Structure 1
Amino acid sequence: MANTSQGVRRAALLASAAAALGLLTACGGEDGTGGTAQRVAGTPAAENPSPSVSPRCHTSQLRAFVGRNDPGAGQWNFPIVLTNTSGRGCTVRGYPGAAFLDASGKQLGPDPRRSPATPVTVTLAPGASAWAGLTFSHPEVSGARSATPASLLVTPPGEREPLKVAWTAGRVPVSGNASTVFLTAFSPGTAP
């Protein structure tokens, strides 16, 4: 009988230790972060976040458009917006690819440069959007050589296939002083 009660006691101690370990694990990681799911503010979230991660958005799941100019201090600032048109959630992280094209499809000016930033992963539920900034000095103010593009090619992060958007906002700098075009990383929503 003594061996049986000692075995029961050991089993009870092991069960208690396992339960305590489970509680410690659920309360947070060893790096001091909580055990709750984190997301970028402004992105849609389910009531009970699941531990699964949405896959990267592919070009075929997205629609692109260029938002309204928000000028300031001789700068033109346009949001490049990607909207999830699929029936499933997906993510974007980082910078878009972008290139201005003339009517014959020839690229105007060099590729835009990336503004320094720490990219975040933006989760796009069906119908949700993310935007990246497209900024350049107004050609009439900067004196840069300019051209009027027919379209803007937008390539989602991690993809090779671009989306073509009609460009209706006038002239853009293509060479000379202050001709650099800058891109920002994606943020949730359709504009700042």
Structure 2
Amino acid sequence: MTKKSPSVRRAALLASAVAVLGLLTACGSGDGTASSPSTLPGTAAPATDGTTTGSDSASPTAPSSGSDTASGSGTTTPSGAVSASGSASTRCHTFQLSATVGRNNPGAGQENFPIVLTNKASHTCTVRGYPGAAFTDASGKQLGPDPKRSSGTPGTVSLDPGQSAWAGLTFSNPEVSGAHAETPTTLLVTPPDERDSLKVKWTGGPVPVSGNSSSVFLTVFSPGTGA
């Protein structure tokens, strides 16, 4: 048998190592990115987005940058009033709020419920834009898609301790529209620009979850309780 010189053997080993490295590289993902995280239902989109009708839902997105503080205009908003330019108060965070669903005010085949957020903190804070919302069953499974946004002009609502703001939750009565319906046990409510939700017991009966006229809509926040 002919013996190979040390330089020939080293060259052969190097070629083998390069081939293995190329094989490992080919087996990788190639894009260098991690998989997308799973999303949670009922998370509010940034309240500072432009408003649209129908196509925008309150799906999970990151809070808009700089939304924790006011616009810096130096103007203040009276308690419970709405300002189009912002407020000097700090935005309300989920842990500072309590949520309730007010009494239904039905009309023309529509069900209309006010979602009410109340400031339980010891200082003034503000809400602006749309809440996030999602119906869930007893196991926590979401029923139907996230609600859509009705057209509207967001204004900053300044809440002193104990004051409230409300946003409308409206949908066609399933018995009238013929949409497939289910009865939730809970409504998840997420304040504007927040990711953590508040759980509210749902006592409003069946809601549309699929089929024709099954969309649920949300309105912008206004001062008061919507009563």
TM-score (norm 2): 0.63
Q: Distance in 1 between matches of 2:139 and 2:106?
A: 29
Contact 2:76-2:88 at 8 Å conserved across structures: no
Q: Number of aligned pairs?
A: 151
Q: Does 1:102 align with 2:137?
A: yes
Query: One-letter code of the match for 2:77?
Result: R
Question: Given that residues 79 and 159 in structure 2 are in contact (C-alpha distance below 8 angstroms), is that contact kept between their aligned partners in structure 1?
Answer: no
Structure 1 partner of 2:121: 86
State, as a whole percentage, how many aligned pairs show the same letter: 70
Q: Distance in 2 between matches of 1:64 and 1:159?
A: 14
Partner SS for 1:140:
helix
The alignment status of 1:188 with 2:223, answered yes or no, reads yes
Instruction: Please give the residue correspondences for 1:29-68 in structure 2 after superposition, counting only pairs within 5 Å.
Output: 37=75, 39=77, 42-43=80-81, 53-68=88-103
Matches of 2:180 and 2:216, distance apart in 1: 13
C-alpha separation in 2, matches of 1:113 and 1:40: 30
Q: For 2:207, give the aligned amino acid.
A: V
Runs of 4+ in 1 over 3 A off after TM superposition: 36-44
User: Is the CA contact 1:40–1:122 (under 8 Å) kept in the aligned structure 2?
Assistant: no
Q: How do residues 39-188 of structure 1 correspond to structure 2 at under 5 angstroms?
A: 39=77, 42-43=80-81, 53-188=88-223
Deviation at 1:42, TM superposition (A): 4.5
- Counting only pairs closer than 5 Å after superposition, residues 10-21 of structure 1 correspond to structure 2 as none
The higher radius of gyration belongs to: 2
Structure 1 residue 39: deviation in Å?
3.3
Unaligned runs of 5+ in 2: 1-73
CA displacement, residues 71-109 of structure 1 (integer Å, 9 cap, x when unaligned): 000000000000000001000000000000001000000
1:41 Cα deviation from its structure 2 partner: 8.3
What secondary structure is seen at the aligned counterpart in 2 of 1:119?
coil
Question: What residue in structure 2 maps to residue 10 of structure 1?
Answer: none
Give the alignment's TM-score, normalised by structure 1.
0.75
Q: Where is the helix percentage greater, Structure 1 or Structure 2?
A: 1
Verify the 8 A CA contact 2:179 2:208 in the aligned structure 1: yes
Q: Aligned partners of 2:161 and 2:81: how far apart in 1?
A: 11
